[in-house]
């Protein structure tokens, strides 16, 4: 299994190195929450990265987070909705009894007990020590079992050739991909692109932070307002929580 580890480390280190380079370039840093991590330094269990999404602040019709993610990670489609990737999407939820509707972004929920990781035959689907669930594109064989297992439909299969992927977001035809929580940004001490875009839009519906740090904004908000998991009944302990779901 040491082979797996080395290849994973190489993959992750590559991402982190690219991210470190990006950090040097000027970037908007609205909420500096994470300390930059040296490329060699492994992700640590001391943290658990997560998101808190306030559905009451998420505007219906706004898709700034989706667009930002697309640009950041380069998953622009081919105008074929059924096979184009979708790392993050806006979902409209309507209660048929009251007519009450909500709009919310849905992406990989970064479960602590991720079904995709359990079912993946090669170990390409993995959960980093800091809670980020990723696909190692180098050992994914494209069996799509993880997509069958994911309760959130958060994963996409790359159905077509990929032209110039971003250096920090490797993609490849025939493999599976999903939200990485912008791991390259997180490792460089920045927040995910969707969080940044939502804030820039003035909605500020998404908070990113360390669920294990009681002083972090996300933990404090969770302590004050609570926060729900989608399909909490499955007991997956997601890293993405929602406010105002029900």
Containing 241, the helix (H) or strand (E) segment is strand 240-243
Structure tokens belonging to residue 13: 């280190």
Alpha-carbon torsion, ordered 127, 105, 238, 54, to 10 deg: 130
Site string for ligand SF4, 63-102 (x = CB under 6 A): ----------------------------------------
35 binds, among ligand SF4, another protein, none (CB under 5 to 8 A by kind): none
Q: Which of 42, 151, 167, 189 binds another protein (CB under 8 A)?
A: 151
| Residue 82 binds another protein, judged by CB under 8 A | yes
Choice between 91 and 200, CB closer to another protein: 91
- Cβ burial, residue 223 (10 Å; 0-12/13-18/19+): exposed
| Residue 40 binds another protein, judged by CB under 8 A | no
Q: Which of 15, 50, 74, 85 binds another protein (CB under 8 A)?
A: 85
CA-nearest of 221, 232, 1, 226 to 109 is 232
CB of 149 to ligand SF4, least distance (A): 8
Q: What number of helices (H) and strands (E) belong to the chain? A: 7, 9
Choice between 56 and 122, CB closer to ligand SF4: 122
| Residue 120 binds ligand SF4, judged by CB under 6 A | yes
| Whole-angstrom Cα Rg for the chain | 17
Containing 134, the helix (H) or strand (E) segment is strand 133-135
CA dist 49 and 54 (Å) reads 17
* 174-193 residues near ligand SF4, rule: CB under 6 A: 176
Q: Which of 28, 46, 91, 223 binds another protein (CB under 8 A)?
A: 91
Where does this chain bind ligand SF4 (CB under 6 A)?
119-122, 124-125, 135, 140-146, 176
């Amino acid at each position: 299994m040491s082979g797996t580890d080395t290849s994973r480390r190489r993959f992750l280190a590559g991402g982190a190195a690219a991210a470190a380079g990006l950090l040097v370039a000027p970037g908007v840093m609205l909420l500096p929450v994470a300390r930059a991590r040296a490329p060699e330094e492994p992700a640590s269990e001391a943290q658990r990265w997560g998101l808190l999404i306030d559905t009451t602040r998420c505007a219906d019709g706004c898709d700034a987070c989706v667009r930002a993610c697309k640009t950041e990670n380069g998953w622009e489609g081919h105008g074929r909705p059924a096979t184009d990737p979708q790392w993050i999407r806006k979902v409209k939820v309507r209660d048929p009894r009251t007519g009450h509707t909500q709009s919310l972004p849905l992406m990989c929920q970064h479960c602590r007990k991720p079904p995709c990781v359990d079912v993946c035959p090669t170990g390409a689907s993995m959960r980093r020590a800091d809670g980020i669930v990723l696909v190692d594109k180098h050992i994914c064989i494209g069996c799509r079992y993880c997509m069958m297992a994911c309760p959130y439909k958060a994963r996409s299969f790359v159905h077509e050739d990929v032209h110039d992927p971003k250096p920090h977001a490797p993609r490849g035809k025939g493999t599976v991909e999903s939200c990485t929580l912008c791991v390259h940004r997180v490792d460089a001490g920045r927040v995910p692109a969707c969080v940044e875009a939502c804030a820039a839009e003035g909605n500020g519906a998404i908070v990113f932070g360390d669920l294990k740090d009681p002083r972090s904004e996300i933990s404090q908000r969770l302590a004050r307002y609570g926060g729900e998991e989608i399909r909490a009944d499955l007991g997956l302990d997601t890293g993405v929580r929602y406010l105002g779901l029900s």
